[in-house]
A and B are shown apart, each in its own frame.
Chain A
Amino acid sequence: MDILIIGLSHKSAEIGDREVVSKKLLTPELRQEFAKKLLNLKDAGDRPLIKEIAILTTCNRSEFIMDLSPWAVGKEAHFIKDYISEYFFAKKSVDDDLFYMLLNLEAVKHLFSVASSLDSMVIGEPQILGQIKDAYNESCEFKTNGQVLNKLFHKAFYCAKRVRTETKIASSPVSVSYAAVELSKKIFNSLSDKKILLLGTGEMGKLTAKHFIKSGVHNIYIANRTKEKACHFVEESFGMNEKNCVDVIDFSEYYKLLPHTDIILCSTGSEGYVLRYDDIMPVIKLRKQRPLFLIDISVPRNIDPEINKISNVYLYDIDDIGKMIEDNLEIRKKEAETAGELVEINAKEFMEWKNSLNAVPVIVLLRNKVKDILEVELSKYIGEKKEKDLIINSLTNKILHEPITLIKKAAVDSNEANMLETLKTLFNLDLSKETLHKKGNDNAINKECEKGKIKLVK
C-alpha cells in the first residue's frame, strides 16, 4: 500500500540519459507496454508487486508513479528500481544511480511539487500540470490506475491550482522572448502595424520572432549573411501561418529598411558590432523621430551600446532583459517557499487519507463479525427479518462506534500502528486474500472507500 515514485529528471541525469529513457517511452503504446511489464512484476510468492501505475514523461523528466501491493516493502521497491534501471540502461552499472526513488510522504510531496512546477527547470512554468494531466488520462485509458492513484492525481491537481492562485509563482514570466515583447508594448501602442527586422538566425531570435507574431506582428524581415541559411531557417522554424508574416531579405539591403523598421532584433554570431551609432543617427531624421526599439540578444553584443543615447531610440541587450527576468526568478523563488508549505500540507492530508485506508478491511470484517454474532443470537427471539435487520444494524453501530473511531485514529497515527494488529488477534479477523475478496466484503470495502466513510480523524 506504499506510494513509490521512481524517476529521473534534469536534476539527477544528463540530457543524454534523459533522452535514452524518453525515447523508449516516446509513444503511448511504448508506455502502455512498459506499464504492463511493471504490473507483471511479482514477488517470490507469485504475487504482483505493483497495484497501480502511471507514467509521466516530459522533456525534463520521466517518472513512474506507483501504488505498491501491501506485501511489497522496502526490498521490493529496490527490486523495481533495479528492474527499471536495467530496462533503460542495460549496459550501465546500477551504481550510476540515475534514478531517484521516493516513498510515501516524500513521493507524494515530490509529485505535488512537480505538479505545482516547483521542481521544474524554470520554476512556475505552466506546461507541467498539463503533462501530468496527460499522464493521468493515459493511465485511465490503459486502466493501470485505481483508487489510490486517482485520489493522488486529483489531490496533485488541486494542490497545483492552490499554489497558482494563492501564490504569485506564475505571475512573473521569465522568458527572454516574452520580456522583449512586453518591453515593446511599453513603447508601442499596437504591434500589428509594426515592422520588425531580425538580423541573424539564432535560436533566441527565432523564439522572440515567434512571440512577436503571436502578439500580432505581421511584418518580419529576416536578414542573414547567407541568404540560403535564412531561407532554410524560415522553412524550419516557422509554421505555415507564421511564414506569411516573414520575408527574407539580402543582408546588404537591411540598411534600406532601417527608416521603416520599428523593432530590430539582433541575434547574429558576429564578433563585432553590426549596428553602430553612426548607422542609426542619420536614420532617425528619416524616421521622423518615430521610436526605434532595438533588442540585442547576441553574445558578444552586435549593437553599439552608444545607440541608446539617441533620442527616441531604446536599446536593450541580453543582460538588461536578463535583469528583468532575474527579478522575476527571485519573486518565483520566494513564492516557491510559500508554495512548499502548501505542498507539505496537501501531502500530509493525502497520506492521512491513504493511511486510513489500511483500517478499511479491519472495520468491515469487525462489523461483519459483530453482525454475524447478533444475527445468530437474535434469530432465537425475533422472527421477522426486517425488524431483526434494523436491530442488528442499530446495535452494531452503537457497539462499534467508539472502537471504529479508535481504529481510524490508529490507522493515521503511526504511534498506534500495533492497534490494528492487536484487533485482528483479539477478534480473530482473517485478513487473507480469500476472505477479503468474498463478494460481500469486497462491496463493503469499496462502499466504505468510495462514499468517503473513511474520513480523517485528527
Chain B
Amino acid sequence: MTTGELYLIPFFIYVFSYIFLLLRKKKFYQAFVSLIYAGFIIQSLIFFIWLNLHGLKDLMSVDWIVFFNAWVIMIVVVLFNLFYKTKYILIYITPIVAINLLIGFFTPHTYINLKPFFSNFDQAVLLTHIILILIGDSLFALAFIISLIYIFQERRIKIKKNLKLFDKKNHPFDEVFYQGKGYNLELLDSMNYQCLKIGFPLITVGIAMGIYLSSSLFKSFMIVKPIEIISLATWLIYAVLLHERVAKGLRGKKAAVFSIIGFLLIISSLSFSFYLFPEFHGFK
C-alpha cells in the first residue's frame, strides 16, 4: 500500500463522519466530532510514519505537499478549537481537508529534483519556504471560512431575516446552516484577526525566502512570472488589511471581504504553482 493510498483512510473517515452530521440527530453529533478527531489522529500518524521512513526529502514531492497542507489545516483548526471553543468550524473546514487528501491521492508522486540547481542550504531554505507558506495559507484558509460565516451572519442581523434567536433544542447542523448560531460577529472578527496576525508574518518570511530562492536559481530577485505577481499581490492585500486593522481599526464586513479576496488570490497562486503553469514556479 502506498502512502497516497494510506491517506484514503482519513479521507473516508471524514466523508463517513458527515453521514452522522447529516442525520441531524443531536445524539450523533458527538459521533461526528469524534470521527473527525479520529481521522486527524490517523492523518498525523501517517504523516509521522512517512516522515520517519523517507525523511524530509519527500517534502519535495508534489503529492506530499498537498497532504502536508491538509494536515496543517487540521492542526490550525484543532488549535483554534482549543482556544476559541469553535467546534462548528470543523463542519466547514473538514471538507476542504478531505478534498486536499483526494487531490493528493490523484497527484503523481514525482520528486522535484532540485539538487542540480540548489545547494544544501538552499534546499533547507526551500523546505522552510514550503512549510511557512503552507502554515500561513492554512491560517488564511481558516480566515476565509470565518469571513464567509461573518458575511452571512452579518447579513442576517442587518436585514433582520432568518435570525432565530431562541430555539435551543436544534441540532448543530441546523444551527450552523440555517440559523447562524454558535458565533457572534465580535468573535468571528477576532478569530479573523488572529489568523491574520499569525499568518501574515509566516507568509512574509515565506515569500522572502521564495524571492531569495528565485534569485539563487535565476540570478535575479524578480523575474516577471504570474506566481510572483500573484504572491506579491496577495501579500500586499494582507499587508494593507493588517495595517488598516492596526492603524485605523478596520474591522467587520470590510475586513472579512479583504480576507476573502486575499484567500482567493492564494488559491489562484497555488493553482498556478502546481497545476496550471508549473513551469512558472520553476518546477519543470
Contacts and interface: CB of A to CB of B under 8 A. Distances in A.
A186 B184 contact: yes
B166 A188 contact: no
A171 B168 contact: yes
A179 interface: yes
B184 A187 contact: yes
Interface stretch (B37-45, B113-121, B157-165, B275-283): B157-165
B181 to A, nearest CB: 9
Interface string A146-182: 0000000000000000000000100111000001001
A172 B165 CA distance: 8
Interface in B28-55: none
Interface string B146-162: 00000001000110100
Contacts of A314: 157-158
A314 B153 CA distance: 12
Interface residues of A, number: 29
Interface stretch (A64-72, A216-224, A287-295, A393-401): A287-295
Contacts of A291: 185-186, 252
B248 A324 contact: no
Contacts of B186: 187-190, 291
Nearest to A324: B165
A323 B248 CA distance: 37
Contacts of B163: 186, 324
A314 B157 CA distance: 7
Contacts of A182: 165-166
Contact of B185 (A186, A288, A331): A186
B158 A186 contact: no
B251 interface: yes
Nearest to B254: A311
B187 interface: yes
A179 B165 contact: yes
Contacts of A320: 160
Interface string A188-204: 11100000000000000
B219 interface: no
A171 B166 contact: yes
Interface in A294-313: 308, 311-312
Given A187-B184, A289-B248, 20 more contacts: A168-B169, A171-B169, A173-B166, A185-B184, A186-B157, A186-B184, A187-B186, A188-B186, A189-B184, A189-B187, A189-B190, A288-B248, A289-B250, A290-B249, A291-B186, A311-B254, A314-B158, A324-B163, A324-B165, A328-B166
Interface of A: 168, 171-173, 179, 182-183, 185-190, 287-291, 308, 311-312, 314, 316, 320, 323-324, 327-328, 331
Interface of B: 153, 157-158, 160, 163-169, 180, 184-187, 190, 248-254
9 contacts: A172-B166, A183-B165, A188-B185, A189-B187, A289-B254, A290-B251, A311-B252, A314-B157, A323-B160
